[in-house]
Structure 1
């Protein structure tokens, strides 16, 4: 790409916008994105995002006016929906695990109390009861 004047760049960008919206790209893949617009206009992308922001905004406005959501925005929306779904799953799993953790903590407390009673002989009956072994079941 050669060094061009700002007017030449702006004319190239406007022509590229028209070609992309018409579906007749010459230099790009034809997607309605800033990257494709820069390729189509044969300018560096930073010129669109930093110097010619009015043309970039006009391009996006014209794309939206046609009812078309740019590919990158659609991908971001899909990614966001997937992330929100995953967050919902993780929150539900977290609640389940918290409930299981509470149950296990109660079991440990009961077992500690029973163990203390057995070791000190302060249990209700004061005598040990043998638990059934695996073979007895």
Structure 2
């Protein structure tokens, strides 16, 4: 399918409308998808046929001190991932401390187990039954 002859003009007009805050056919978001909707052209017109217009759109956004919506989303995601990474690092440090404590406990229990096994295999002294109080006869 060949592009419409006025495709570039429609994209440039859509760029102006979005950047001026007066979109007619889109949400006005600072994205290529919104620009394509606003210009009423397929998205690949910007990504494949007119990448210079796409790049120009992003350049104009940055010149105004704004940030494209996709970049805003990515920056928010980066912040969230950094927070998650910090939380994971904290949890990992706690788990490493727990491992050290568990290793000490296992070593202590191993020693106690060896001592008990040694006591079981050692010859025992004979038990002597001490006389106790006589038990009353059980009723029959």
TM-score tier, shorter chain, comes to: 0.7 to 0.9
Q: Which residue of 87, 105, 109 maps to 2:85? A: 87
Name the counterpart of 1:47. 45
- How far does the alpha carbon of each residue in 1:4-62 deviate from its partner, in whole angstroms, 9 at most, with x for none? 43x41111111110111111111011111111100000011112112211000000000
Instruction: Kindly state the Cα deviation for residue 66 of structure 1 after the two structures are TM-superposed.
Output: 0.3
- Normalising by the residue count of structure 1, what TM-score does the alignment of the two structures yield? 0.82
Instruction: Give distance in 2, aligned partners of 1:54 and 1:86.
Output: 37
In the alignment, structure 1 segments of 5+ residues that lack a partner are: 123-137
Q: In the alignment, which residue of structure 2 is the partner of 1:106?
A: 104
The alignment covers a number of residue pairs equal to 120
How big is the alpha-carbon RMSD for the aligned residues of Structure 1 and Structure 2?
A: 1.7
Structure 1 CA distance for aligned equivalents of residues 44 and 32 of structure 2: 10
Could you list the structure 1 runs, at least 4 aligned residues long, displaced by more than 2 angstroms after superposition.
2-5
Alpha-carbon distance in structure 1 between the residues aligned to 2:12 and 2:51? 12
Match of 2:75 in 1: 77
Question: What's the TM-score once normalised by structure 2's chain length?
Answer: 0.80
